[in-house]
Amino acid sequence: MHILGIVGSPHRDGLTNRLVQSALEGAREGGAHTETLYAIDYGLDYCRSCQGRPCWETGDCQFGPEARQVSERMLAADGLILGAPVYFWQVNALTAGLMDRTRLTGRLAIWTRGEGRPALGISIAGGTGTGLVAAVQSLYKYLQIYGFRALEPLPACRFNFEQALERARQQGRTMAGTPAQPFADLGESLAWYDALPFLRWGTLEEIHYLARLIEENLTESESNRDLFETLRRERAEAQRRLAAGDRAGACHHAAAAYLAGREAWERG
């Protein structure tokens, strides 16, 4: 089995690359052959939606061969790992350009069954952590439309980075033992992606999730005890209101929990 890892960060030695390489290491442990593609080497920018759109039939882009080169490497892989950083509450522009310009011709899931090749999407949001879920949602739209049968998404941030590294390795190992499973039809594809974690979340759930990650991974200390208590209290109330269907109320408590938790994290 041949698995391609795509690093959507402009930094070859950054957090995105570490996560993708961890997943590829797991894939090799599972017996797969792996390679890495760095998006920065191709510099794909936005699609210009050319009249006639010949790229959908030929895979060629009139603005250069780079898009076809990336597409061909993706088509040759038995599995795909796609990692992207988050800079502004969404997938970064370099990765977005790659998704915008690549053409896996004849594989659009809305017209075909899709090949059902395994795939994994990874996001990494530094700093505030916000946008990590929105980013994997964007990655998974791309994987879905091209008929991949994606594994559970991996949204990462500084509050769960070490766990995310290990999870990436586990997912890579799983991918190495997962054969392609074509979807029966578009309905099965919709059902598969609808059931995956994170993909139906909004910003409220994302903020609440970040508060939970901080609570689970921060050690309480004398310097942050008051904020830690606020984090616990507000997150519990946000959880209660979410369960009761009071989303407006949950927003206020989730935000308070997250802000208290982030400050507590800085205090250490």
User: Which stretch of DSSP H or E encloses residue 265?
Assistant: helix 247-267
pLDDT of residue 52: 67
Token digits for 205?
A: 């759930």
pLDDT in tens, 139-198: 999 999 999 999 999 999 999 999 999 999 999 999 999 999 999 999 999 999 999 999
User: Is 80 exceeded by the pLDDT of residue 107?
Assistant: no
Q: For the CA atoms of the chain, what is the radius of gyration?
A: 20
Q: State how far the Cα of 138 lies from the Cα of 124, in Å rounded to an integer.
A: 13
Instruction: Count Cβ neighbours within 10 Å for each residue of 217-227 and write b for 16 or more, e otherwise.
Output: ebeeeeebeeb
pLDDT in tens, 220-242: 899 999 999 999 999 999 999 99
Alpha helical stretches, state H, 6-116: 15-29, 55-58, 66-76, 93-101
Token digits for 59?
A: 């895979």
User: Is 90 exceeded by the pLDDT of residue 110?
Assistant: no
In SS3 terms, 107-167 reads as CCCCCCCCCCCEEEEEEEECCCCCCHHHHHHHHHHHHHHCCCEECCCEEEECCCHHHHHHH
Tell which residue, 76, 172, 63, has the closest CA to residue 115: 76
Tell which residue, 239, 229, 241, 235, has the closest CA to residue 255: 235
Q: Mean pLDDT for the chain? A: 95
Contacts made by residues 86-89, CB under 8 angstroms, sequence distance 24+ = 86/123, 86/124, 86/125, 86/126, 86/130, 86/131, 86/132, 86/134, 86/135, 88/131, 89/130, 89/131, 89/134
pTM (2 d.p.): 0.96
pLDDT in tens, 2-54: 999 999 999 999 999 999 999 999 999 999 999 999 999 998 988 888 876 78
Distances (CA, A) of 197 to 75, 133, 136: 26, 10, 10
At 106, the pLDDT band (50, 70, 90 cuts) reads confident
Q: State how far the Cα of 22 lies from the Cα of 51, in Å rounded to an integer.
A: 41
Mean pLDDT of 202-230: 96
Residue in this structure with the two tokens 């370099």, named with its chain if needed: 94
